[in-house]
Structure 1
Amino acid sequence: MTVYSNTVFHPTFCLLFTKMKIPFFDYKKYCKELPYADLVSETLSSGYLIGGPAISKFEEEIVNYTGIKHCITVGNATDAMEIIFDFLDLPKGSEVIVPAHTMIATASAAVSAGLKVKPIDVNFRYGLLTSKELSNVNLSNVSACMITQLNGICSDMDEIMNLLRSNSVPLVEDSAQGIGSFYKGTHAGGFGVGGCLSFYPAKVLGCLGDGGAIITNNDDLASYAYSVRDHGRGVDLQPLYWGRNSRLDSLNANILLTRLLNIDYYIEKRRRLASLYDNNLSALQDQGVLKLPAKHSVASDNPSTYQNYEVLAEKSSDLMAFLKDKGIGTIRQWGGFSIAHLRNLGFNIDNYPRTLDQFDRMFLLPMNHMLEEEEIIYITQSITEFYGA
């Protein structure tokens, strides 16, 4: 196979390929990637369908990989964040800061604990809530702050933690997209009270269906979460708390253990494809019609995992339609709705002009380890063709 990693195509070049079909994420291909029948057989032979050695082993391996003290697997990342807020037991009706650019699950985790969320515009360069935006917020009446570590990078956590500590505000990290993401050597989810991981199939580390985990250095939160995920029961099955049923199953633990063996490859492949995107689209960025994603965490040398390749584009809706006609799948993150867009839940996007401007232009290009370089070249040439560059 010819490698084009360092190739930048002149806009007058004709396309090298006939029309291709590139879904945003190829779930059918994903479902054929591992020897799933063998993993099912292994799980059935163990006799453990929920709990058991596969769960314990996976939690141990996540601790080893992230360097964070505890990993408690749960049914999904939303449950993980809700359990963290249950643990904090903050005053009902008090205010929690959330980034405007995040999934509804981030805010709903706080709302589920009887709290009120306050969206804050994110940084234009990074798409994250950074210390620059947070420093303009009155933290005196805030009960907690949520930072979403987004698209494979982390925010500038040193400055954020200084701001929050000086105001005695606890941090909850939505690090659902954060596996493999670091800031100055600390893994996403390792800065505040606790963070979460999502193992949804399209994540860097995915399973078959929903799955999640709490990651934390807080011993008390870990003890609480181990109990609450299993109906609040202790080791003798006597209830310690009111709990819930939120447990990762053993089959998905075995799948995740298998995929975790390849996580360095998955991330390196994403970085290689992102470099190809960057090289072939840099001229459009120079022209001001396209903004490419950040390559590193904020104020850090730690490189992105490229969980997503999110661009800001002029005429984004027209471009997405053009790419669809070319057979290329794209999506707007969160369905194109920030927290501030959710009028039915009491928010007004008109109060967030910067977020409105960003969401009018932002969308995701295909990015995962199953893509081939030829497909990225086809995508970048199609984008170049659209802009007539």
Structure 2
Amino acid sequence: MDFIDLKSQYAALRDNINARIQAVLDHGQYILGPEVKEMEAALNAYTGARHCISVASGTEALLICLMALDLQPGDEVITSPFTFAATAEMIVLAGGVPVFVDIEPDTANIDATLIEAAITARTKAIMPVSLYGQVADMDAINAIAGQHGLTVIEDAAQSFGASYKGKKSCNLSTFGCTSFFPSKPLGCYGDGGAIFTNDDQLAQACREIRTHGQSQRYLHTRIGVGGRMDTLQCAVVLGKLDRFEWEVSRRLALGEAYRAKLHAAIPGLQLLAVRDDRDCVWAQYTVFVDDREAVQGKLKAAGIPTAVHYPRPLHHQPAYARYGRPEDCPNSIDTARRVLSLPMSADLTDAQQDQVVGALAQALG
């Protein structure tokens, strides 16, 4: 069993993907070819956002947004410590200071009720992370940002396709940033990502920054980066889009089936909460267990692959320890000790899911 079954997905989409890749090989426009604008237009239509700017990765998307905001040395960006390092990494690389706010213990997303207390005169932006495929409480976060004149950047690397109060992730705040890393809900076959915004000026800034700050060829009006998404990777995403709505619905169904089966087989097992006003596309299906290493060992022996997203919060990472005290964010610390991700992808079969549930029940006794 694969942790994420990309082989079955490709088998179902082989003709579409191969034809898309062949078209790029035939026209030879490997940088900013026609598939780039085609993909951006398709994703605009999907999310409802006015602008989609494809970029080299989800990580690059965060950096470019911060650069578009003209983040200055010492400016603070409020975010969650329970996330992949790229979230804080880009804040620091842009010259900013990550300010960590603890998570909700049941969703593992940033606790919006704690954000206002972390705002200072140096705060420039709030960067909530839509972890595991579920969006944070964006209305509350946007309201706080509006009161204090701050920008909100949704780190939606794991939540493309998810909905919040009838709107799509990536179209919920000033910026939405997603990733097309192969394991994500909508993935390419390498690195890729996108920025979404409804602000015309910020969109133009992001387009210029991604191409070395050029407003036209060899006219560099901003400091920029080499942040374009390859035409071939855009072609792969286009090859997957016809099936994407089905994949999202399948992820939602598998998430609900996991919940029902795990509750029945392992009463008392703590699962991630999904709020009533949103859904979760389950980039990872994650549960809480004690003695995680032993449980993982038993599952491995039973042929069940697992992963941990993430084993330590960022303020416990050597590179980011200076941005918090070890005892800060206790919910993040406890969650990092207990989370365990199970096999999840749109092509996971019901029989495979039953196998996972049965093996976890045995592992937990």
Query: What is the deviation of 1:331?
Result: 0.5
Deviation above 6 Å: which 4+ runs of structure 1? none
Hey, what does 1:309 align to over in structure 2?
Answer: 285
Query: What is the deviation of 1:286?
Result: 4.1
Hey, what does 2:167 align to over in structure 1?
Answer: 186
Query: What is the deviation of 1:52?
Result: 2.1
> What SS class does the counterpart of residue 363 from structure 1 fall into?
strand
Query: What is the deviation of 1:196?
Result: 0.7
Structure 2 counterparts to residues 28-47 of structure 1, below 5 A: 28-29=7-8, 32-35=11-14, 36-47=17-28
- Percent identity, please: 29
Instruction: Go from structure 1 to structure 2 and tell me whether the alpha carbon gap of 1:326 and 1:103 turns closer, same or farther (over 3 Å shift).
Output: same
Give the TM-score normalised by structure 2. 0.93
Hey, what does 1:327 align to over in structure 2?
Answer: 303
2 CA distance for matches of 1:190 and 1:383?
37
Query: What is the deviation of 1:267?
Result: 1.0
More displaced stretch, 203-212 vs 271-280? 271-280
Instruction: Confirm or deny: 8 A CA contact 1:123 1:130 kept in the other structure.
Output: yes
Hey, what does 1:149 align to over in structure 2?
Answer: 130
2 CA distance for matches of 1:380 and 1:323?
10
Deviations for 1:293-322, whole angstroms, at most 9, x for unmatched residues?
2334xx61x322122211111222221111
Name the amino acid aligned to 2:243: N
Deviations for 1:74-104, whole angstroms, at most 9, x for unmatched residues?
1001111101111111331122211011111
1 CA distance for matches of 2:178 and 2:194?
5
> What SS class does the counterpart of residue 333 from structure 1 fall into?
coil
> What SS class does the counterpart of residue 170 from structure 2 fall into?
coil
Which protein shows a greater Rg? 1
| 1:291 aligned residue (270, 277, 283) | 270
Confirm or deny that 1:105 pairs with 2:86. Answer: yes
**CA RMSD in angstroms, aligned pairs only:** 1.9
Instruction: Confirm or deny: 8 A CA contact 1:122 1:128 kept in the other structure.
Output: yes
Q: Which runs of 5+ in 1 are unaligned?
A: 1-21
Query: What is the deviation of 1:191?
Result: 3.1
2 CA distance for matches of 1:206 and 1:240?
32
The number of aligned residues is: 361
Deviations for 1:12-58, whole angstroms, at most 9, x for unmatched residues?
xxxxxxxxxx2312455555553244333221122321112111110
2 CA distance for matches of 1:305 and 1:362?
17
Question: If each structure's helix is expressed as a fraction of its own residues, which one has the higher value?
Answer: 2
| 1:318 aligned residue (288, 294, 300) | 294
Deviations for 1:91-139, whole angstroms, at most 9, x for unmatched residues?
3112221101111101111111111112111001111013223244344
Query: What is the deviation of 1:141?
Result: 4.2
Instruction: Confirm or deny: 8 A CA contact 1:270 1:368 kept in the other structure.
Output: yes
Confirm or deny that 1:130 pairs with 2:111. Answer: yes
Hey, what does 1:225 align to over in structure 2?
Answer: 206
> What SS class does the counterpart of residue 118 from structure 1 fall into?
strand
Instruction: Confirm or deny: 8 A CA contact 1:70 1:217 kept in the other structure.
Output: yes
Deviations for 1:202-258, whole angstroms, at most 9, x for unmatched residues?
111110010001111111111011111112222444222222211111111111112
Query: What is the deviation of 1:284?
Result: 5.9
Instruction: Go from structure 1 to structure 2 and tell me whether the alpha carbon gap of 1:120 and 1:92 turns closer, same or farther (over 3 Å shift).
Output: same
Instruction: Go from structure 1 to structure 2 and tell me whether the alpha carbon gap of 1:78 and 1:38 turns closer, same or farther (over 3 Å shift).
Output: same
Instruction: Go from structure 1 to structure 2 and tell me whether the alpha carbon gap of 1:255 and 1:308 turns closer, same or farther (over 3 Å shift).
Output: same
1 CA distance for matches of 2:253 and 2:172?
28
Query: What is the deviation of 1:354?
Result: 2.3
1 CA distance for matches of 2:59 and 2:2?
26
Give the TM-score normalised by structure 1. 0.87
Deviations for 1:250-306, whole angstroms, at most 9, x for unmatched residues?
11111111211111111111122222211111146642xx2112334xx61x32212
Hey, what does 2:176 align to over in structure 1?
Answer: 195
1 CA distance for matches of 2:190 and 2:293?
30
2 CA distance for matches of 1:89 and 1:126?
32
Instruction: Confirm or deny: 8 A CA contact 2:213 2:224 kept in the other structure.
Output: yes
1 CA distance for matches of 2:11 and 2:215?
39
More displaced stretch, 116-125 vs 64-73? 116-125
More displaced stretch, 32-41 vs 362-371? 32-41
Name the amino acid aligned to 1:177: Q
More displaced stretch, 190-199 vs 342-351? 342-351
2 CA distance for matches of 1:121 and 1:82?
22
| 1:345 aligned residue (320, 323, 335) | 320
Instruction: Go from structure 1 to structure 2 and tell me whether the alpha carbon gap of 1:237 and 1:91 turns closer, same or farther (over 3 Å shift).
Output: closer
Q: Which runs of 5+ in 2 are unaligned?
A: none
Name the amino acid aligned to 1:373: D
Instruction: Confirm or deny: 8 A CA contact 2:314 2:320 kept in the other structure.
Output: no
Name the amino acid aligned to 1:260: L
Instruction: Go from structure 1 to structure 2 and tell me whether the alpha carbon gap of 1:352 and 1:131 turns closer, same or farther (over 3 Å shift).
Output: closer
2 CA distance for matches of 1:160 and 1:293?
21
